[in-house]
Amino acid sequence: MQRLKEFDREQVLRIIVLCQAIRLSGQDPFTVDVKEKLQILRELLPKWKLVEDLLLDSEALKELSEIVKLQGEWVRRRASRMFIDPFLIEAKLKLMDREQLARAFLKAWRPIISTEQLTFRRLKEAYDYWAALPPLSERKHELTTQAEFELKHLDIEELIKMRLLTKEEFEKALDELYEELLARSRGEAIDYWSFVVREGFEESAMRAYMVSFLVSQGRAELFIDPIQEVIYIKPAKAEEKKVGRSVVVAFNYDVWRRELERVKRERGSFS
Between 248 and 164, residue with greater pLDDT: 248
* For residue 147, pLDDT beyond 50: no
Between 224 and 226, residue with greater pLDDT: 224
* For residue 146, pLDDT beyond 50: no
Q: Which amino acid is at 7?
A: F
pLDDT in tens, 5-57: 778 888 888 999 999 998 888 888 888 899 998 998 898 888 888 888 888 88
Between 155 and 123, residue with greater pLDDT: 123
Q: What is the pLDDT of residue 173?
A: 87
Give which of 132, 142, 219, 218 is closest to 181, Cα–Cα.
Answer: 219
Top CATH class, 156-267: mainly alpha
Q: What is the pLDDT of residue 215?
A: 87
Residues of the chain with pLDDT > 70: what percent?
77
Q: What is the CA radius of gyration of the chain?
A: 47
Phi-psi bin for 194: left (phi > 0), alpha (psi -120 to 50), beta? alpha
Q: What is the pLDDT of residue 202?
A: 86
pLDDT in tens, 86-145: 777 787 888 889 899 899 888 888 777 666 677 788 888 888 888 888 777 776 655 544
Q: What is the pLDDT of residue 266?
A: 80
* For residue 270, pLDDT beyond 50: no
Q: What is the pLDDT of residue 212?
A: 87
What span, in angstroms and rounded, lies between the C-alpha atoms of 201 and 256? Answer: 7
Q: What is the pLDDT of residue 19?
A: 92
pLDDT in tens, 65-102: 999 999 888 877 766 655 566 777 787 888 889 899 89
Is the pTM higher than 0.75? The answer reads: no
List the domain boundaries for the chain.
2-79, 156-267
Mean pLDDT to the nearest integer, 192-205: 89
Measured between alpha carbons, how far apart are the two ends of the chain, in Å?
Answer: 110
Give which of 243, 260, 239 is closest to 251, Cα–Cα.
Answer: 260
Q: What is the mean pLDDT of the chain?
A: 79
DSSP output for the chain? -HHHHHHHHHHHHHHHHHHHHHHHHT--GGGS-HHHHHHHHHHHGGG--SHHHHHHHHHHHHHHHHHHHHHHHHHHHHHSTT---HHHHHHHHHH--HHHHHHHHHHH---S-------HHHHHHHHHHHHHSPPHHHHHHHHHHHHT-------HHHHHHTTSS-HHHHHHHHHHHHHHHHHHHTTS-EEHHHHH--SSHHHHHHHHHHHHHHHHTTSEEEEEETTTTEEEEEEPPGGG------------HHHHHHHHHHHHHHHSS--
Q: What is the pLDDT of residue 68?
A: 92
Q: Which amino acid is at 17?
A: V
Per-residue CA distances from 77 to 28, 34, 88, 177 (Å)? 12, 20, 14, 87
Q: Which amino acid is at 249?
A: V
Mean pLDDT to the nearest integer, 239-243: 57
How far is Cα of residue 128 from the mean position of the Cα atoms in its chain? 40
What span, in angstroms and rounded, lies between the C-alpha atoms of 101 and 90? Answer: 12
